[in-house]
Amino acid sequence: MRDLLNGPSGLGTSAARLGRPEAVELPPEAGYAERPWGDGTAPPLYVPVVEREDALLAAAVDERLIAWAGECGFEEPERFLGGMFGRLAVLTHTDTDDVDQLLIAARLNAAWWAADDLYADSTEMGAVPAELPPRLALAMAAMDPVAPAAEFTDELEETIAADPVLVGLRSGIAHLTARSTPTVVQRVCYSTFAMFVSWSAYAAWRHTGNYPPAWQYLATRQHDTFYTSMTLIDAVGGYELPAPLYYDPRVRQLLTSAGTASVIVNDLVSVEKDAADEKPVCNMVLQIAADRGCSIAEATERTVELHNQMVRDFEAGHRELLSVPSVELHRFLKGTKAWMGGGFEWHTTHPRYK
Ligand SMILES: CC(C)=CCC/C(C)=C(\C)COP(=O)(O)OP(=O)(O)O
C-alpha cells in the first residue's frame, strides 16, 4: 500500500506528495510545561501550555449555548450546562473566535456530557446501567438518521422529540452538518458510536459489580476519550483534514494518544466524584488501586506517569510528522496540542471536579 505520509520516494517525486508540492520545513513545536494540579501533592502533569483564555468570548458562547439547551428541553440549563462548555470550546479550539464555529464544539460536548451524566454515569441524575444500551441505540438513531420506515419512523421521532439528550445530540449534529462536510459528520458519528460501546461495557461492570482490571478498563477507555471531542478540530477551524490523512495509522495513533492523555486528566480530577456514586464509576486511578492493592496516592502517581508518557509520545510523533507536506495536517495537529492544553486548564479549574 502507498504510504500517504511519506508519499512516493526518490528523486523528482516530491511534487506527487499530498497537499503541497514541496515538504514544508517547520521548527519543532515548543510550548509544553510541567503543571501542578489538585492540592499539589501528586506529581505534576506534563501538558501543552494554554494557548487562549478569553472570558468574554466564553461568555458569548455560553449565552448562546444556554438558550440552545433550553430549546432542547433541558431543565435549568444555566445550572446544568452554563459556564462549562463555552469556556471549554474557547480554551480548546484556539484557531477561531467565531461564536457560531465555537458552538459546534460547545453544543456537541454539552450533548455528549449530558448523555454521559444522565444516561451513563450519575445514578442521582437517572442513569441506570441496565437501561443504558437501548438508550444509546436511540442516541445513534437521533444522530445518524437512517432510511425512512413509515409508521416505525413516526414512533421513533416522537420518542426523540421528548428527550432533551436526544434532541441535543441531533441538533448538535445538525449544526455541524451545516458547517462541515458529510465525511466529517460521519467521522464524528462513528467515533461517538465506538465511545458508546465502551459506555456499555462500564454499565455491565457496574450492573454486575465485577469491575475490570486496570488494563481492561484502559483498553475500553481508549475508545471513550476526548478523541471524540477532537474529531471536531478542523470543522470548528473551518477546514477539513482529508480522510486519507486523518485515518493514516500514524496520525490516528497521535490523536488517540492525545485523546487518552486528556481523558486521563479527567480521571485524575474525578476520583472523588467517581468513587462517591452508589455504583462507583470506572476510573483509572480506582482500577489501579484495586488491582494492585495500593493507595490512591500511589495509583495516582502511576496514572500521572502514564499520562505524561502519552503526551511525550504525542510530542515526539508530532515532531516526526512536521515534514509531511500538508497544511491541513499541521493545523490539525497544532489544534490537537492546543486541545490538550485547554482541556487540562478546564478540568483543573472547573468546580465540577473540586
Ligand atoms: C465530551 C465527550 C466526548 C464526552 C464523552 C464522555 C467523556 C469522555 C467524558 C464525559 C469524560 O469522562 P467521564 O465520563 O469520566 O467524565 P466526568 O468525570 O463525568 O466529567
In tens, the pLDDT along 230-275 reads 999 999 999 999 999 999 999 999 999 999 999 999 999 999 988 9
- Give the residue whose CA is nearest to atom 1 of ligand 1: 109
- Over the Cα atoms of the chain, what is R_g? 20
**Selection from 84, 165, 5, 122 nearest residue 352 by Cα:** 84
Mutate to test the pocket of ligand 1, among 87, 91, 113, 136 (most ligand atoms within 8 A of CB): 113
What value does the mean pLDDT take over residues 155-184? Answer: 97
- Nearest C-alpha to atom 18 of ligand 1 is from which residue? 270
Is-contact 95 331, C-beta < 8 A? yes
260 lines ligand 1 (CB under 6 A): no
Q: Kindly state the cell numbers that stand for 322.
A: 512536521
For ligand 1, the distance from its centroid to the CA atom of residue 113, given in whole angstroms, is 6
CB-ligand 1 contact for 180 (6 Å cutoff): no
The band of 81, judged by pLDDT with boundaries at 50, 70 and 90, is: low
Per-residue pLDDT, 13? 35
Helices (H), the chain: 55-72, 77-80, 85-92, 99-115, 132-143, 150-161, 164-179, 182-208, 214-221, 227-230, 233-237, 243-246, 249-276, 284-292, 296-320, 327-349
Q: What is the pLDDT of residue 23?
A: 45
Q: What are phi and psi of 19, to 5 degrees?
A: 90, -60
Distance 146 CA to ligand 1 centre (A): 27
pLDDT band with cut points at 50, 70 and 90 for residue 28: very low
At 77, is the secondary structure helix, strand, or coil? helix
Residue 339, ligand 1, Cβ within 6 A: no
pLDDT value at position 280?
87
**Residue 50 pLDDT:** 97
- pLDDT value, residue 219: 98
pLDDT band at residue 352 under the 50/70/90 scheme: confident
Task: Calculate the average pLDDT of the chain.
Answer: 91
Task: Look up residue 266 and give its amino acid.
Answer: N
Cβ contact 84:350 at 8 Å:
yes
Ligand 1 closest atom vs CA 122:
19
Amino acid identity of residue 10, one-letter, is G
If you measure from the C-alpha of residue 120 to the centroid of ligand 1, how many angstroms do you get, rounded to a whole number?
A: 10
Q: Does pLDDT of 29 surpass 90? A: no
Of 142, 72, 145, the residue nearest 107 (C-alpha): 72
Calculate how far, in angstroms, residue 353's C-alpha sits from the geometric centre of ligand 1.
12
- pLDDT confidence of residue 351: 84
Atom of ligand 1 nearest to the CA of 117: 19
**Residue 54 · residue 305 · CB < 8 Å:** no
What is the model's pLDDT at position 11?
Answer: 29
Q: How far is CA 137 from the centre of its chain?
A: 20
State the pTM of this model: 0.91
Please tell me the predicted confidence (pLDDT) of residue 146: 84
pLDDT of the residue at 21 = 37
Banded pLDDT at 5 (limits 50, 70, 90) = low
Separation of alpha carbons 48 and 92, rounded Å: 11
Highest mean pLDDT among 80-94, 111-125, 330-344: 330-344
Instruction: Evaluate: CB of 336 within 6 angstroms of ligand 1.
Output: no
Contact present, 140 and 191 (Cβ < 8 Å) = no
Mean pLDDT check: name the lowest of 113-127, 133-147, 217-231.
113-127
Long-range residue pairs from 182-187, CB within 8 A, at least 24 positions apart, any chain: 183/240, 183/243, 184/231, 184/234, 184/235, 184/240, 186/144, 187/231, 187/243, 187/246
